[in-house]
Structure 1
Amino acid sequence: MIRRTLFAFAALALTAFSPVAAQEGRQLTPEETTLIQEISAHNSAIRTMAGRFLQIDTQGNRIEGTFFIQRPGKVRFRYNPPSREEIISVGRGFYVIDRKEQTQYAYPQDKVPLRQFLDSDIDLLAANIVAIDQSDAYLSLALQDETPAGVVTVSLVFDKETKDLVQWVLVDPSGAELTFSLYDVQKDVEIPKSYFYIDPTYRAVDPTT
């Protein structure tokens, strides 16, 4: 189920890009620092985003959907049928909603590394960067954080020319991975407030069960 993969949105699938490797103790080069600063500034200026995504899990299962992001802190991922689940954040946490079962459960937003990309003013240099890797076309930053479930790593993959986020990788404490790629992205679009609404009548459930 999607609700069991909130912390596992991705493994790298860019054909020209090699996976991030741990680089403990290595200092960023001046060129890397400048590029990360440019990426932070570029994405901070984007107040809203909308588009489509493709998610591929470790077994090769594929599912598509639509996403909406509004800074600071709001996001919605809606999976295409037959799934009835979606992930919504309203700035206080990430809620996994099951529209069929009418249930919801939450993870604290400050314990999900992806929050670094949802801030109003993005400063990736201030994040807990544990690895960096790049090809001619892409830069990947691996961020790590402690969560209620254990250590989670998210690798944000950016197009070096456009500075746009094109993919991210979330590896959960069990090592499970998913590929989460973005396409047909539109920037600075109007997003209805209702898209970030969580029905208070939905029953809260324990995400660990």
Structure 2
Amino acid sequence: MTMIRRSFLASLAAAGLALAAQPALARQLSLGEISSYLNQLQTGTAGFTQINGDGSIQTGQMYIKRPGRIRFEYAGDRSMMIAGGGQVAVFDARSNTGPERYPLNQTPLSIILERNVDLGRAGMVTGHTSDGTTTTVTAQDPARAEMGSIQMVFTADPVELRQWVVTDDAGQKTTVVLNDLRSGVGISDRQFNIQAEMSDW
């Protein structure tokens, strides 16, 4: 086990202990409360830790500007993922080619980037549970269920998105754990301009 993985697992354990130290039996959030929270989250930034399907771990900074825009900057190199203009572009610093691009609606992440998030839509939510500390919701696009799902974890009072797990159309899971999420921050539209980023790449 590598040092970074041991450190990460230790951090997760510490986070679990911290959550356990909070008052027991926190209330389960309703789908309406979660939808309202996501709709009010117009802009935000957070540090993140990403656990990929192959077990590798990456860290970095996330920027979100709803609707339709999110940016992940990975620490250690120039790699990034940008969603904007209905597209997703993955910039891999180890690649000699341009970014991989595909429509945003082909990823379950589009669910939380919609202009109007409504988790009450028929067929959207496939799981809604609470462990006494957090509320977990699993959602999919009813019109594109074959594209995968997103499992989101929230804490209550105040409501806050803590992590998500995206399962893609091939069954690969990618977990993103957020830290120090700050909402209502000023973020330039340039951060989500894929064409502009390509010209600088």
Pairwise same-fold verdict (TM > 0.5)? yes
* Structure 2 CA distance for aligned equivalents of residues 74 and 201 of structure 1: 14
The one-letter code of the counterpart of 2:88 is F
Deviation at 1:172? 2.3
Deviation at 1:59? 4.8
Contact 2:125 2:139 in 1 (8 A): yes
Contact 1:54 1:62 in 2 (8 A): yes
- Cα RMSD over matched residues? 3.0
1:115 aligned residue (110, 113, 121): 110
1:95 aligned residue (89, 99, 109): 89
* Structure 2 CA distance for aligned equivalents of residues 199 and 102 of structure 1: 15
Deviation at 1:167? 0.5
* Structure 2 CA distance for aligned equivalents of residues 111 and 75 of structure 1: 15
Task: Classify 1:144/1:120 alpha carbon distance in 2 versus 1 (closer, same or farther; 3 Å).
Answer: closer
Deviation at 1:186? 1.0
Q: 1:172-187 alignment to 2 at 5 Å?
A: 172-187=168-183
The one-letter code of the counterpart of 1:93 is Q
Task: Classify 1:182/1:201 alpha carbon distance in 2 versus 1 (closer, same or farther; 3 Å).
Answer: closer
Q: 1:57-206 alignment to 2 at 5 Å?
A: 57-82=52-77, 84-99=78-93, 101=96, 103-126=98-121, 128-145=124-141, 150-199=146-195, 202=198
SS at match of 1:137: coil
* Structure 1 CA distance for aligned equivalents of residues 69 and 30 of structure 2: 26
Gaps of 5+ in 2: 1-12, 20-26
Deviation at 1:151? 3.7
More helix by share: 2
Contact 1:116 1:123 in 2 (8 A): no
Deviation at 1:43? 2.4
- My pick for the range that moved more, 37-46 or 172-181, is 172-181
2:47 aligned residue (43, 47, 52): 52
Deviation at 1:168? 0.4
Contact 2:190 2:196 in 1 (8 A): no
- My pick for the range that moved more, 95-104 or 185-194, is 95-104
* Structure 2 CA distance for aligned equivalents of residues 147 and 15 of structure 1: 34
Gaps of 5+ in 1: 1-12, 18-30, 204-209
More strand by share: 1
Contact 1:102 1:202 in 2 (8 A): no
Task: Classify 1:201/1:132 alpha carbon distance in 2 versus 1 (closer, same or farther; 3 Å).
Answer: closer
* Structure 2 CA distance for aligned equivalents of residues 190 and 102 of structure 1: 32
For normalisation by structure 1, the TM-score amounts to 0.72
Per-residue CA deviations over 1:41-76 (Å, capped at 9, x if unaligned) read 122122100111001234542210101101111111
* Structure 2 CA distance for aligned equivalents of residues 201 and 165 of structure 1: 28
SS at match of 2:111: helix
Task: Classify 1:102/1:189 alpha carbon distance in 2 versus 1 (closer, same or farther; 3 Å).
Answer: farther
State percent identity of aligned pairs. Answer: 26
Deviation at 1:103? 0.9
Contact 1:112 1:147 in 2 (8 A): no
Deviation at 1:134? 1.4
- My pick for the range that moved more, 186-195 or 112-121, is 112-121
